[in-house]
Chains A and B, each alone.
Chain A
Amino acid sequence: MEFIEFLYENIVENFSWQMLVMWAIGGVLVFLAIKKDMEPTLLLPIGFGAILVNLPGVMQKVVDETGRPVLDSFGNVQYDAGPLSTLFDAGIANELFPLILFIGIGAMIDFGPLLSNPKLMIFGAAAQFGIFFTFCAASMFFPINDAASIGIIGAADGPTSIVVAQQLHSQYVGAIMVAAYSYMALVPIIQPPVIKLLTTKKERLIRMPYAAKSVSKTTKILFPIIITAIAGLVAPESVYLVGFLMFGNLIRECGVLNSLSDTAQNVLANLITIFLGITIASKMYYEQFLKPETLMILGLGLIAFIFDTAGGVVFAKILNIFLPKSKKLNPMIGAAGISAFPMSGRIVHKMGLKEDPQNFLLMHSMGVNVSGQIASVIAGGLILKFFG
């Protein structure tokens, strides 16, 4: 009987219809992860976590000695999500999880195609346009630190988004994370129409022969070290962003740490990913998440991805004006400059094959895609330098 009374009280006192909305959002994320295979490693834990933290009585108001709710620096009531808050403080508030994840990502990336054709790196830079455009657009509605954090959704790179949003003390970390990872999962839906809109059939048919060039082991080893040094000189405040990524890559390429490389690529990355998703969900309590601003952030995130894609494609088209006929680029490869690796590279390759079954753009698009990973981290560093 006592239990039934408790159950009744808990539901009556703590339940809100907005919780149902959050369960639906969590359910959609779990559905997309399982049924549509969209970024399942992150959308599934985020979706499950969103349901978990929106169960009645799970989130507890943080109160002071007098029993009054403690407010954060933005005037919002603070909530304690129990162990999820502990995980958040231990791994996200101090940016540890995303940085450790970068070691794993660095160990997964083969810079070979990029090193054999380094000119492709310029597209990685061009495809960061969406970040800065979205920042400008977001600044019309949000304070500068939040606008910069929203803009970095366009990095198409979850760890960078987390680090920037945390360092800039954005109050919309939860919405930014959800937007960043959701749109990464939706890259196969977002990019093709934008690419088609900006290119002619003739341009999409341009063939780019690939001549495989071998890259020396010394180059592969020195590359991550030198990139870290350059990033450190340009934006010392955020050198660890590039540094952890490149450290992972150095472990991979050095040839004497195969076991560590394997651990970083698999066990370490998987372990962090499990905690990262569900910990982010601790910021998806309905009182913090169901705001008009969240919808705006989701809209601005979409703009960021669209303008990233457009930036890369248009830049390739501009370059083509100056290139001789035999050296023309297929402008679709510019779209692979966003950091969503390897989806974006594969999409461009598939689009090329659809236009012409003999047009193999994979090596070029993957090279550009990898350069997007580097450029997005550098963009994050520059944003921190400007507004940190």
Chain B
Amino acid sequence: MVDHLLLMIWHALLVALFFAFLWRRSSRDRLVLFAKAFLIMAVGSVVLGWLMYLVP
């Protein structure tokens, strides 16, 4: 079974990990970028999804 939320979170995780390693060199910076990017994509998508209820 394909779970949309799980796929979205999995996608956000892969992309956040990719850019953390592409753009940052120290472990701490990578962790910060990973956390920011992941949260923005995962939480932002859910928030955007709820906001779209307001759009007729």
Partners in one complex: no
Q: Give the interface of A toward B (CB within 8 A).
A: none
Q: Give the interface of B toward A (CB within 8 A).
A: none
